[in-house]
């Protein structure tokens, strides 16, 4: 697996140009990566503001497919270099872009993408940025019903689909209209869940608003096995259990601007009966008190304006632009030069780059492949992890 030979690239590019009319869009930069029967053609236009596009050639059917593309698409590029990692995602180096924008991932067959393919019934791929810095700790989001936890988590998952994985809890409450079993929750029955709690299947569990909720060991493992950072949407009791556990999590409590606004949001969601709304509002008072004063939480965020709150959340997690830039310029960091490409040799990922001083001579950063396996989407540019070599 890896980059397709040059003649296949040319052939595919000709086909794209002639058969699909994408040729002009792919003028600036293009790269192909073959995984199994599928060849992923990724390309863009250098000076334009058009986003980088993805097309898939399926050898099994002989057809071109235009996938649904999730995540933030990178904009124009001066050149792309790509390599398959673990056969489920493609590591892409975007030449000429800023250091905090140059390392990208295109998920093609990860758990998240496979789920999305099932839900949407079509080919799906997902973009995600490589993160510079220490971003491994699981994230616990708590707060009263209707405050916007789910909304904020969805935004995070949409912008960084490959970086975060949602811990799908078990619950005995009935599914809401749009909720899917196995995606939003594992919907189960009281007797079954009680037995599974006894069997030690859960990391934590609690009775909330009259139903049982719990995080299974498996739910967390699915996320960490995929090399992602786990997000848990759990109540204050669950947060307390996590705080007491060995799980080194960041715990964030989300507050509404007022109880009136909380009620408005809860009602406008139209997912609960009047009785359930009243119970949730009553419980919200207690949750707010515990959330603000218990010392369980590392951070409290006010969700007044949604975009502002989301930006604050990203800042806390070290994934806003400013925080990423700060980490890149940290003393131990290595600045990736502008002209770079990526290739794979044995168990190393090689990021090649030209240096102005040596004109055409190139240098490389050698990155152990295991580094990407263990820390996918959490690229720590650190002298300890990178060997420099003159090749
Ligand atoms: N302790 C614990 N709480 C959970 C879990 N999953 C969800 N919850 C919490 O249960 C509460 C009710 O969740 P839900 O029924 O989805 O309603 P919502 O809060 O209105 O979105 C929320 O406070 C969730 O954070 C879990 O696995 N463990
Ligand atoms: N900052 C905000 N301003 C206005 N409405 C919001 C805001 N955040 C979320 N909402 C809305 O409030 C409702 C409840 O949000 P939701 O994410 O379901 O809450 P939770 O998961 O905490 O129960 C949803 O209809 C959502 O669109």
Q: Of the given ranges (43-47, 121-125, 175-179), which has the lowest mean pLDDT?
A: 43-47
Strands of the 89-94 sheet, one edge to the other: 68-70, 124-129, 103-107, 89-94, 80-85
**Domain membership flag for residue 322:** no
Q: Are 63 and 158 in a shared domain? A: no
Q: Give the chain's end-to-end CA distance (angstroms, integer).
A: 23
- Measure the CA–CA gap between 63 and 363, rounded to whole angstroms: 39
**Domain membership flag for residue 386:** no
Give me the interface pTM, i.e. the ipTM: 0.98
pLDDT score of 369 more than 90:
no
pLDDT score of 305 more than 60:
yes
Active site residue 114: no
**Domain membership flag for residue 229:** yes
Q: Are 162 and 87 in a shared domain? A: no
* CB distance 141 to ligand 1 below 6 Å: no
Which pLDDT score is estimated for 43?
85
Strand partners for 126: 70, 107
pLDDT score of 319 more than 60:
yes
For residue range 162-221, what is the model confidence (pLDDT) as tens digits?
A: 889 999 999 999 999 999 999 999 999 999 999 998 887 888 899 999 999 999 988 988
CATH of the domain at 313: 3.40.50.300
- Measure the CA–CA gap between 234 and 205, rounded to whole angstroms: 9
The catalytic residue among 114, 265, 267, 269 is 269
For residue range 277-302, what is the model confidence (pLDDT) as tens digits?
A: 999 999 999 999 999 888 899 999 99
Q: Are 309 and 359 in a shared domain? A: no
**Domain membership flag for residue 265:** yes
Burial class of residue 119 in the structure, from the number of CB atoms within 10 Å of its CB (0-12 exposed, 13-18 middle, 19+ buried):
exposed
Q: Are 110 and 158 in a shared domain? A: no
Q: Are 105 and 154 in a shared domain? A: no
Q: Are 55 and 159 in a shared domain? A: no
Q: What angle do CA 377, 380, 381 make, to 5 degrees?
A: 125
Atom of ligand 2 nearest to the CA of 254: 22
Pocket test residue of 214, 215, 238 for ligand 1, highest count of atoms within 8 A of CB: 238
* CB distance 169 to ligand 1 below 6 Å: yes
Active site residue 176: yes
- Measure the CA–CA gap between 121 and 7, rounded to whole angstroms: 32
Overall number of domains in the chain: 2
**Ligand whose nearest atom lies closest to the CA of 179:** 1
- Measure the CA–CA gap between 143 and 3, rounded to whole angstroms: 46
Q: Are 75 and 162 in a shared domain? A: no
Mean per-residue pLDDT, 249-268:
96
Atom of ligand 1 nearest to the CA of 238: 1
**Domain membership flag for residue 3:** no
Q: Output the average pLDDT for the chain.
A: 76
* CB distance 148 to ligand 1 below 6 Å: no
Q: Are 106 and 169 in a shared domain? A: no
Which pLDDT score is estimated for 23?
53
| Spacing, Cα 240 to ligand 1 middle (Å) | 14
**Domain extent at residue 97:** 30-133+338-374
* CB distance 235 to ligand 1 below 6 Å: yes
pTM of the entire predicted model: 0.60
Mean per-residue pLDDT, 369-385:
30
Cβ contacts of 386 within 8 Å, gap of 6 or more: 334, 365, 366, 367
pLDDT level of residue 368 (50, 70, 90 thresholds) = very low
Cβ contacts of 163 within 8 Å, gap of 6 or more: 128, 129, 131, 135, 228, 229, 319, 377, 378
pLDDT score of 331 more than 90:
no
Phi, psi torsion values for 236, nearest 5 degrees = -65, -35
Q: Are 275 and 213 in a shared domain? A: yes
Q: Are 148 and 60 in a shared domain? A: no
pLDDT score of 233 more than 60:
yes
pLDDT level of residue 350 (50, 70, 90 thresholds) = low
Greatest C-alpha distance within the chain: 73
Q: Are 40 and 93 in a shared domain? A: yes
Phi, psi torsion values for 338, nearest 5 degrees = -65, -40
Which pLDDT score is estimated for 387?
31
Cβ contacts of 301 within 8 Å, gap of 6 or more: 252, 253, 254, 255, 309, 312, 313, 316
pLDDT score of 55 more than 70:
yes
Q: Whose CA is nearest to atom 27 of ligand 1?
A: 214
**Ligand whose nearest atom lies closest to the CA of 276:** 1
Pocket test residue of 146, 260, 262, 312 for ligand 2, highest count of atoms within 8 A of CB: 146
- Measure the CA–CA gap between 238 and 170, rounded to whole angstroms: 13
């Amino acid at each position: 697996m890896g980059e397709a030979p040059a003649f296949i690239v040319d052939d595919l590019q000709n086909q794209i140009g002639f058969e699909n009319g994408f040729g002009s869009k792919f003028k600036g930069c293009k790269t192909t990566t073959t995984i199994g029967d599928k060849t992923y053609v990724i390309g863009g236009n250098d000076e334009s503001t058009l986003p980088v596009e993805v097309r898939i050639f399926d050898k099994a059917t002989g057809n071109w497919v235009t996938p649904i593309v999730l995540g933030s698409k990178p904009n124009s590029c001066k050149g792309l270099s790509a390599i398959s990692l673990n056969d489920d995602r493609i590591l892409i180096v975007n030449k000429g872009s800023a250091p905090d924008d140059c390392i990208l991932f295109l998920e093609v067959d990860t758990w998240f993408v496979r789920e999305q393919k099932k839900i949407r019934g079509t080919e799906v791929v997902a973009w995600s940025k490589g993160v510079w810095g220490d971003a491994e700790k699981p994230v616990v989001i708590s707060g009263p019903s209707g405050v916007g936890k789910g909304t904020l988590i969805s935004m995070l998952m949409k912008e960084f689909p490959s970086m975060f994985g949602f811990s799908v809890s078990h619950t005995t409450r009935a599914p809401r209209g749009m909720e899917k079993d196995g995606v939003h929750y594992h919907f189960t029955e009281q007797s079954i869940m009680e037995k599974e709690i006894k069997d030690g299947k859960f990391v934590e569990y609690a009775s909330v608003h009259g139903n049982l909720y719990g995080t299974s060991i498996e739910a967390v493992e699915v996320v960490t096995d995929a090399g992602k950072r786990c997000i848990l949407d759990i109540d204050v009791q669950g947060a307390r259990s996590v705080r007491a556990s060995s799980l080194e999590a960041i715990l964030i409590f989300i507050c509404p601007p007022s109880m009136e606004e909380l009620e408005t949001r809860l009602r406008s969601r139209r997912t609960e009966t009047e009785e359930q709304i009243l119970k949730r509002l009553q419980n919200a008072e207690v949750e707010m008190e515990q959330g603000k004063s218990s010392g369980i939480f590392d951070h409290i965020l006010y969700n007044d304006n949604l975009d502002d709150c989301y930006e604050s959340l990203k800042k806390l997690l070290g994934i806003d632009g400013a925080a990423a830039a700060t980490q890149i310029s940290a003393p131990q960091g290595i600045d990736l030069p502008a002209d770079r490409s990526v290739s794979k040799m044995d168990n190393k990922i090689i990021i090649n780059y030209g240096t102005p001083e040596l004109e055409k001579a190139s240098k490389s950063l050698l990155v152990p492949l295991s580094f990407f396996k263990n820390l996918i989407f959490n690229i720590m540019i650190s002298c300890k992890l990178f060997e420099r070599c003159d090749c």
